[in-house]
Amino acid sequence: MDPATIGGIAVAFVAIIGSMILEGGNPAALIAPAALLLIFVGSLCAALASTTVPNMMGAFKWLVYAMTAKKPDFEGVIEPLVKMAERARREGLLALESEMEKVEDPFMRKGLQMAVDGTDPDDLYDILSAEVKAKKGSAKAAAAFWTDCGGYAPTIGIIGTVMGLIHVLENLSEPDKLGHLIAAAFLATLWGILSANVMFLPFGKRVVKVGENDAARMELVIDGVLAIQAGSNPRVVATKLRSKMPQILPAAVPDAA
């Protein structure tokens, strides 16, 4: 599992709580059940109002998957495809039939099985590409739900603050309560902004990134299967797939003066 998102959110909360302590505040003051209920339930329900229940359930499933997804291993995709290409070139495409059970990736197994069954290359490409398109669309819809939550949360926080200030005005005859009531009112705005920028928007970005990685892996599989079906040289297959493998580029280093 890539802990980037979970680690980033955790450190962000530590920084927020730490800064509050340094300012002499009490972190326990952030625990406001009314504000938390309004922000999280209100934001999720507002986002639900703009989509459907199945899409919302899909967004939660995608979030769990995105948070637990392994680091992308594109070499782990290329290696078995190259081995398959070597055997197919040596013994023929039908020789791969006995290797199907050893293929762990369901998408790769499906593509290879279609190739072994003699599916037309154009049809094979169209069928597998449709699955890639569906994967991208599913991830995009899930990410949109969390992005919508991030858009609604700050405004709902302002609504909570206005409601709190109304309560303050109702208690002007009791000055000793005003400080506590005003602080409680602004907690809604705090949680609205905090949840949007530290949770909901990063959730959406994470889902998009994991979806892109999955789609890139699937596209490598399609290219590899088509190359195997065409009888390409295994070395050419390896070179072609590695040239299309997504790269994580290092930060640019400025030239020395």
Q: What are 49-107's pLDDT values in tens digits?
A: 999 999 999 999 999 999 988 888 888 889 999 999 999 888 888 888 888 888 888 99
pLDDT for the residue 246: 75
Residue found by looking up tokens 């005859």 in the block: 173
Mean pLDDT of 180-199: 91
Contact 128, 138 (CB under 8 A): no
Using the predicted structure, report yes or no on whether residue 110 has a pLDDT greater than 90: yes
Query: b or e along 191-212 (b: 16 or more beta carbons within 10 Å of the residue's beta carbon)?
Result: bbebbbebbbbbbbbbbbbbbb
pLDDT for the residue 248: 52
Using the Cα atoms of residue 37, residue 191, residue 7 and residue 17 in order, give the sign of their dihedral.
Answer: negative
Using the predicted structure, report yes or no on whether residue 252 has a pLDDT greater than 50: no
pLDDT band, very low/low/confident/very high, at 11 (cuts 50, 70, 90): very high
d(Cα 212, Cα 72) in Å, to the nearest integer? 10
Using the Cα atoms of residue 9, residue 14, residue 19 and residue 25 in order, give the sign of their dihedral.
Answer: positive
Using the predicted structure, report yes or no on whether residue 233 has a pLDDT greater than 70: yes
pLDDT for the residue 188: 92
pLDDT for the residue 229: 92
CA atoms within 13 A on the CB side of 167: 16
Higher per-residue confidence, 250 vs 71: 71
Mean pLDDT of 21-29: 86
Using the predicted structure, report yes or no on whether residue 251 has a pLDDT greater than 70: no
pLDDT for the residue 39: 95
pLDDT for the residue 184: 85
Three-class HEC string of the chain: CCCHHHHHHHHHHHHHHHHHHHCCCCHHHHCCHHHHHHHHHHHHHHHHHCCCHHHHHHHHHHHHHHHHCCCCCCHHHHHHHHHHHHHHHHHCHHHHHHHHHHCCCHHHHHHHHHHHCCCCHHHHHHHHHHHHHHHHHHHHHHHHHHHHHHHHHHHHHHHHHHHHHHHHHCCCCCHHHHHHHHHHHHHHHHHHHHHHHHHHHHHHHHHHHHHHHHHHHHHHHHHHHHHHHCCCCHHHHHHHHHHHCCCCCCCCCCCCC
d(Cα 65, Cα 211) in Å, to the nearest integer? 10
Residue % of the chain over a pLDDT of 70: 95
Using the predicted structure, report yes or no on whether residue 211 has a pLDDT greater than 90: yes
pLDDT for the residue 254: 47
Q: How far is CA 12 from the centre of its chain?
A: 18
Torsion angle, CA of 12/17/18/22, rounded to 10 degrees? 140
pLDDT for the residue 175: 80
Using the predicted structure, report yes or no on whether residue 250 has a pLDDT greater than 80: no
Using the predicted structure, report yes or no on whether residue 145 has a pLDDT greater than 80: yes
